[in-house]
A = this chain, B = another copy of it.
Amino acid sequence: AAACHRLCPAVNKSSVLGQCTPGNNLSSAPQMGWGDLGVFGHPAKETPNLDAMAAQGMLLTNFYTANPLCSPSRAALLTGRLPVRNGFYTTNGHARNAYTPQEIVGGISKDEILLPAMLKKNGYVSKIVGKWHLGHRPAYLPLENGFDEWFGAPNCHFGPYNSSITPNIPVYNNSEMLGRYYEEFPINVKTGESNLTQIFLKEGLEFIHRQTKAQQPFFLYWAPDATHTPLYASRSFLGKSQRGRYGDAVMELDYSVGQILSSLQSLGIEKNTFVFFTSDNGAALTSRTNGGSNGPFLCGKETTFEGGMREPAIAWWPGNIKEGTVSQQLANVMDLFSTCLSLAGISAPDDRVLDGLDLTPTGYTLDREMPIFYYRGNEMMAVRVGQFKAHYWTWTNSMEEFKQGVNFCAGQDVPGVTTHNQTEYTLQPIIFHLGRDPGEKFPLSVLTKEYLDALRSVSAVVEYHEKTLVPGVPQLNMCDQAVMNWAPAGCEKLGKCLDAPKSKPWKCSWPH
């Protein structure tokens, strides 16, 4: 199992234009959980920069990702659409989480319009730093999909691999590889030492400086790998945390966000740069010694419980977002698509359904709310409307996996809810009041008026959603060893091309 993180978009409409329409800087931390930040209650309190970001900006306490796994979550962020619409899901098996490992054949569909492509209309230059995760075959890469620059990798940094069997993941500079993880970009699996986060930070800061100097508006999508396993940190952070190596990685990420914010300030562009920090899914609870925290929430990554999909979220924009504010608005990564476009003065595409709202008109607390849909692959497992969350299907993982020690809900067990069979409740959904019971421990009694009222309002939402939903063509169904990163563009110059095996496609197997 795998997933990723992102630090959310910063869009900068350069200060020279003398306009307040901001730049954007979206920054996303892979699978950092809701409870991992000091400001969101982690007892170690080791995130002074993110805590300060919240104190200077706005904390969003009802903010969600679109999927409990990396790739679909990132696809939703950049398209403003649910994975079931933009194709980042699978129909191999019911309710399966799928992502983009090296053997994936598909990637982001050409029918989708990504945020950087839209931002180009008003002269924004866009860069992604870090993990892409929307497909690694040539046509799916960032520069083919609206980004002007890229420094990072198409897949997670799993490895090291024996390159006669599996290639190590390439690191790209724009459209050509520079080397591979564990080779030119070392990660010491034993000591956990790697400079990757520092490299990503430097790339991000250089881009900001360059764009500021050139007086060009920019969009930086800073999506470091750190906090995803295999865990690493650079030497000055290793061993610094009370929380072990995961904490070291969190501290380095926190430091990096602080550096980005203080750069914006020292360049004098903080008042027209919108910065948003979030994660791509909840913390994975499977790691015995190096896991993140989902605070008071149930379960984690891979699940459609709150721990899998409610995310830490901080919006920062001095002079525009009042310091120390809290928004209870139900919000979602897909809102960032609509919000960034609005900030850049660009109309949203009108030829497709968008699943986000423009959060700006009333200061990130609107008079209306979108429901939150919790999907696993092709199935809507649950939906939140206001304070009520109705589960139509429950599943954590299979009993077989669980018996092998894979537990997505370590230490937690809610009978009938954290089930190891896919359990259908479509006729009588399990409903929680997330205000009184954010941990999803106490289902409302179906005999109460409160249950019936909640069911009525949720049912209307679900009925409309199902009636109007046109699923995208699923992109994550086919796998093939031949499509792995054997010979990425630029490998010739470096002498790093590997021979691909013969194509033998198969239906990818997604166990959970």
Chain A residues near B (Cβ < 8 Å):
34-35, 38-45, 55, 59, 61-62, 241-244, 246-247, 285, 288-291, 293-296, 298, 310, 326, 328, 387, 410-414, 433, 435-442
What number of copies of this chain does the assembly contain?
2
Can you list 9 contacts pairing A with B, beta carbon distance less than 8 Å? A41-B42, A42-B296, A45-B59, A242-B328, A242-B387, A247-B435, A285-B441, A296-B296, A411-B413
Are B328 and A289 neighbours in the complex by a CB distance under 8 Å? no
CB distance from A412 to the nearest CB of B (A): 6
Give A246 to B433 CA distance when docked, in angstroms: 14
- Chain B residues within 8 Å of A61, by CB: 43-45
Are B42 and A247 neighbours in the complex by a CB distance under 8 Å? no
Are A246 and B436 neighbours in the complex by a CB distance under 8 Å? yes
Give A293 to B438 CA distance when docked, in angstroms: 9
- Chain B residues within 8 Å of A55, by CB: 55
Partner among B41, B387, B411, B413 whose Cβ is within 8 Å of the Cβ of A295: B41
Give A241 to B438 CA distance when docked, in angstroms: 13
Known: A289-B436, A436-B290, A437-B289. A411 touches B45 (CB 8 A): no
Partner among B43, B62, B296, B414 whose Cβ is within 8 Å of the Cβ of A293: B296
Are B296 and A35 neighbours in the complex by a CB distance under 8 Å? yes
Give A44 to B298 CA distance when docked, in angstroms: 16
Are A435 and B38 neighbours in the complex by a CB distance under 8 Å? no
Give A393 to B402 CA distance when docked, in angstroms: 27
Partner among B39, B293, B413, B442 whose Cβ is within 8 Å of the Cβ of A439: B293
- Chain B residues within 8 Å of A326, by CB: 38, 45
Give A43 to B328 CA distance when docked, in angstroms: 9
- Chain B residues within 8 Å of A414, by CB: 411
Minimum CB distance partner of A444 in chain B: B289
Give A289 to B436 CA distance when docked, in angstroms: 6
Are A35 and B43 neighbours in the complex by a CB distance under 8 Å? no
CB distance from A247 to the nearest CB of B (A): 7
- Chain B residues within 8 Å of A289, by CB: 433, 436-437, 442
Partner among B244, B291, B441 whose Cβ is within 8 Å of the Cβ of A435: B244
Are A413 and B412 neighbours in the complex by a CB distance under 8 Å? yes
Are B387 and A411 neighbours in the complex by a CB distance under 8 Å? no
Are B244 and A296 neighbours in the complex by a CB distance under 8 Å? no
- Chain B residues within 8 Å of A435, by CB: 44, 241-244, 247
Are B441 and A295 neighbours in the complex by a CB distance under 8 Å? no
Minimum CB distance partner of A386 in chain B: B242
